[in-house]
Structure 1
Amino acid sequence: MGTSVAEGRWARVAAGAPDTASPPPAVRAVGGQSETEREEGNVPSTDRPPASLPNAAPSLRARGRDLVDTVARESPARLALCVFSAIVLVVTALLQIPASTATGHRAPFVDSFFTAMSSVCVTGLVTVDTATFWSPFGHTVIAVGMMIGGLGIMTLASILGMAVSRHIGLTQRMLAASETHSRLGEVGSLVRAVVVVALSAQAVLFVSLIPFFLREGEALLSAFSHAAFMAISIFNNGGFVILSSGLAPHVGDWGLTIPIVLGTVVGAFGFPVLLDMWRCGRAARRWTLTTKLTVIAYLLLLVLGAVLIGVFEWNNPSTLGRLPVGERIGAALLHSTDARSSGLATLDVGAMSQSTWLVLDGLMFIGGGSASAAGGIKVTTLAVLVLAVVAEARGDRDTQAFGKRLPSETLRLAIAAALLGALLVLVGTIAMLQITGMPLSQTLFEVISAFATCGLSTGMTSTLPVAGKYVIAALMFAGRTGTMTLAAALALRSRRRVIHYPEERPVIG
């Protein structure tokens, strides 16, 4: 007596009886939302069993899943940032274990935190020597951090959603789609493809690097472990080097130069570009606009950077001047590639001219492709801005490229990303100048390298005070997560206004 309809229905279902009172899922709706939409995690379901019924209390796993779904619905960008931050803290904790250091003593917290941030943000800036300070266990932790960080925070959030909830909600799909430039229905399969592509590319690099380490006289097991570490560092644009002597003694070794250049380029193109090129094969005309802009802009900047570095450093006895002609060309090409994100330098960056530093500043600030392991504002952002300037110079009302018209939202997003990056660099440079008192040119180089998650350094990072280390770590985190979360947030907040204000143009220029 007094039993509600909902309780009676839930009692029949719990007893195994068919729910004949419920309409088919296709027509059943609550509050204007279909059951399918509620299963996607977009609206909280009101059709729940009463908490007073036996066995109705949710399990710990179910509560965790509901918490993740709730956060993903209400603030998906915050979920992604929390996931990324949690990974940094886990890597920091593992590097704090005495077994992570070569001496068996606990590392200073600031160095563990800085290294963890650098690995997860795939930067490569270090305060201690990677090869000699950390143990094999520490190297493994750093390598795993680079592998995870190379996937990108939105991809990580999507993987978390699939692992916990067995599906990706609509908001998570929109976030992942904005980062990977795909359709909503493709996000699940695309995330899986991203993991397969990343592992496959790193496996190819691993095999290609084994002969190099064997030629260096290393034992088979050591050659395998070092080749695996460097393969992860190269593809994910991590910038960490496990060779005790660094890469400088191998500046003319094409067996190392070619894998670094090719691996860095592939990793910096971005997963959407790689998958689009794979699907279209040799039919470049079928590439998406993102792929065309990324490939053309990236290669043009690569050649331009190599030419300028070669010109400015050709007669510098501390860099290219001491090398044969063939090795000079290879080194210039390598450093133009590394400046896009990987930071695996074979020359002493601190001995380069300030003109070369300025060229490297520009290349680092631009970075690589969208949804890639590279940092910076991305080459597509630069391409869109250049196309907008060209259209304005021609007097065109529309910004066009390859027979396609770019929407105004894309231009606004490009401007926002560029200004955000410039603002972060400005604030970081001012803070570092106050903390270190170093020259502006050197400080600006280190700040841009941190923001762009590149890892090139003039030697300033290893001598930073504690406060400076934390500032650089914050810049790495902001550079790795800032532009992506900004793009995702703007994509989700896109809205149409019913009422438009009168138009008035301010004077420009």
Structure 2
Amino acid sequence: MITVGFGAAVAAGTGLLSLPWATASDEPASLVDALFTATSAVCVTGLATVDTGTHWSPFGQAVILLLIQAGGLGIMTLATMLTLLLSRRLGLRARFLAQAETKSLSLHDVRGLVRRIVLFSLGTEALVAAVLTIRLITGYGLAPADALYSGVFHAISAFNNAGFSLHADGLVRYAGDAWICLTVAAAVIVGGLGFPVVFELARGWRRPGRWSVMTRITVTLTAVLLAAGTAVFTAAEWTNTRTLGAFAPGDRLLAGFFASAMARTAGFNSVDIGALRPESLLATDVLMFIGGGSAGTAGGIKVTTFGVLAFMLWSEIRGRAHVNAGRRRIPATNQRQALAIALLSVGTVIAATFTLLAVTTHTLDAVLFETISAFATVGLSTGITADLPTQAHLLLVVLMFAGRIGPLTLASALALRDRDQRYELPEERTIVG
């Protein structure tokens, strides 16, 4: 059902973006461009084969915004809200579907949870849009209407970790503006934490000892990855005159932090990604692949998956029979799910990278970056997206779609297939390593 829902949204978006009045030239967009843009918007990725600000008309840009909002909230969440509005009743099947999309741990509170998700999302987007609008008016002299339009567009794109921008160079023109960069980064981080984590922090942020394992892993790893990414990116690009080297020291730190936050599946850029050094590209690859929190607008394999794998490794190194996270034991089923998601994701990225290398003439670092960006629904690019052939664009469409719903549906399927086995086979050890 989740797959069908996202697929229907992509199909509807493709149809709307194929209309003549969806483009600035009043000529129908090509089917590949419409499909690619619709998939990128619904899957809150941000990769684009055409410039969003100049190729699409206001109608086309509005369609993109609606698709981003739908993808961010989740098709099943929107369907649940429509059910509530139309019938004021929520059947058991609809509750299960909403629970699968929102990662609710309590089935009886899905109705209230969905309401809180929508209100929180719209409220956060409104606050971010207000800050951006005021800054664009006071700092850049934009007309109120233009500033409001830009503020709303970038606020929705930021909170939903989409990365779509009205500017061809992303947010490069605002690289030294702390008001805009920090506001966008805050929206990205909050949206990427995941709704269950945000709600739990709102209830008990003063009592970290009572946080759930998911909240502890998400908050801790988010802080660690943000700090590590900022340090690595800033150090690697400090003397690169094509990126951070052209800024004042304070602006370099701001741009380094912004790049680290955006690599967590947001897709905005304040420097030229194509001018990054290889070590920065590799660090960004790692951050993109890990992604953000579960049940949020971020992509990747999720920090919870990465955290479980880290705890598994630590327990194995210490010779522990069980995998513990603080004062809680992680079930074996969670461990198998994390391992399956990580390995299948690695295999998907490798296979897609190999295929893209076969059909393009670009280098490995650029192609690998593009592949991970699509699969992790990030949207960052070294600038090769528009130059790729049609078959490569179609492959990226599949990657974006699989990256958005793959980890979710795979984890759900593995959980549903968990069965108690009534027998055990004889044990035999093999040599490992």
Q: How would you bin the TM-score normalised by the shorter chain? A: over 0.9
- Aligned partner letter, 2:126: A
Give the whole-Å Cα distance in 1 for the aligned partners of 2:168 and 2:325: 47
Secondary structure of 2:244's partner?
Answer: coil
Conserved 8 A contact 1:177-1:183 = no
Give the whole-Å Cα distance in 2 for the aligned partners of 1:451 and 1:349: 18
Give the aligned partner of residue 129 of structure 2: 206
- Aligned partner letter, 1:454: V
Give the aligned partner of residue 68 of structure 1: none
* 2:19 pairs with one of 87, 97, 100: 97
* 1:118 pairs with one of 9, 28, 40: 40
Give the whole-Å Cα distance in 2 for the aligned partners of 1:461 and 1:500: 51
Give the aligned partner of residue 476 of structure 1: 400
Give the whole-Å Cα distance in 2 for the aligned partners of 1:262 and 1:195: 18
| 1:174 CA displacement | 7.0
| 1:129 CA displacement | 0.6
1:342 aligns with 2:257: no
Conserved 8 A contact 1:80-1:157 = no
Secondary structure of 2:415's partner?
Answer: helix
Higher relative CO (Cα under 8 Å, sequence separation at least 6) belongs to 2
* 2:376 pairs with one of 449, 452, 461: 452
Conserved 8 A contact 1:174-1:492 = no
What are the equivalent positions in structure 2 for 1:47-446 lying under 5 Å apart?
79-156=1-78, 158-159=80-81, 166-170=89-93, 173=96, 176-177=99-100, 179-214=102-137, 215-243=139-167, 246-446=170-370
Give the whole-Å Cα distance in 2 for the aligned partners of 1:276 and 1:110: 42
Give the whole-Å Cα distance in 2 for the aligned partners of 1:118 and 1:232: 14
| 1:495 CA displacement | 1.6
Q: Bigger shift: 252-261 or 173-182?
A: 173-182
Q: CA RMSD in A?
A: 1.7
Conserved 8 A contact 1:157-1:172 = no
The superposition leaves residues 10-36 of structure 1 with CA deviations (integer Å, 9 ceiling, x where unpaired) of xxxxxxxxxxxxxxxxxxxxxxxxxxx
Give the whole-Å Cα distance in 2 for the aligned partners of 1:370 and 1:179: 9
Give the whole-Å Cα distance in 1 for the aligned partners of 2:326 and 2:249: 38
- Aligned partner letter, 1:280: G
Give the whole-Å Cα distance in 1 for the aligned partners of 2:251 and 2:225: 21
| 1:181 CA displacement | 4.3
Q: Bigger shift: 304-313 or 152-161?
A: 152-161
| 1:454 CA displacement | 0.4
| 1:430 CA displacement | 1.1
| 1:210 CA displacement | 0.6
Give the whole-Å Cα distance in 1 for the aligned partners of 2:425 and 2:95: 33
Conserved 8 A contact 1:177-1:187 = no
Gaps of at least 5 residues in structure 1 are 1-78
Q: Bigger shift: 342-351 or 213-222?
A: 213-222
- Quick one: structure 1 residues 98 and 216, their matched pair in 2 at CA, closer, same or farther if it must change by over 3 Å? farther
Give the whole-Å Cα distance in 1 for the aligned partners of 2:367 and 2:216: 35
Conserved 8 A contact 1:162-1:168 = no
Conserved 8 A contact 2:45-2:265 = yes
The superposition leaves residues 444-495 of structure 1 with CA deviations (integer Å, 9 ceiling, x where unpaired) of 0000000000011000101111111111111000100100000111122222
Larger radius of gyration: 1
Give the whole-Å Cα distance in 2 for the aligned partners of 1:162 and 1:444: 43
- Quick one: structure 1 residues 326 and 199, their matched pair in 2 at CA, closer, same or farther if it must change by over 3 Å? same
Secondary structure of 2:132's partner?
Answer: helix
- Aligned partner letter, 1:123: T
Conserved 8 A contact 1:122-1:146 = yes
Secondary structure of 2:329's partner?
Answer: strand
Give the whole-Å Cα distance in 1 for the aligned partners of 2:274 and 2:120: 35
- Aligned partner letter, 2:10: V
Conserved 8 A contact 2:98-2:110 = no
- Aligned partner letter, 1:195: V
| 1:305 CA displacement | 0.6
- Quick one: structure 1 residues 245 and 430, their matched pair in 2 at CA, closer, same or farther if it must change by over 3 Å? closer
| 1:244 CA displacement | 5.4
What TM-score results when the alignment is normalised by the length of structure 1? 0.82
Secondary structure of 1:303's partner?
Answer: helix
| 1:301 CA displacement | 0.6
Give the whole-Å Cα distance in 2 for the aligned partners of 1:277 and 1:408: 27
The superposition leaves residues 107-157 of structure 1 with CA deviations (integer Å, 9 ceiling, x where unpaired) of 111111111010100000001111111111111110111111012355356
Give the whole-Å Cα distance in 1 for the aligned partners of 2:343 and 2:41: 26
Conserved 8 A contact 1:158-1:176 = no
Give the whole-Å Cα distance in 2 for the aligned partners of 1:172 and 1:211: 40
- Quick one: structure 1 residues 499 and 244, their matched pair in 2 at CA, closer, same or farther if it must change by over 3 Å? closer
Give the whole-Å Cα distance in 1 for the aligned partners of 2:98 and 2:67: 22
Equivalent pairs counted in the alignment come to 431
Give the whole-Å Cα distance in 1 for the aligned partners of 2:127 and 2:340: 37
Gaps of at least 5 residues in structure 2 are none
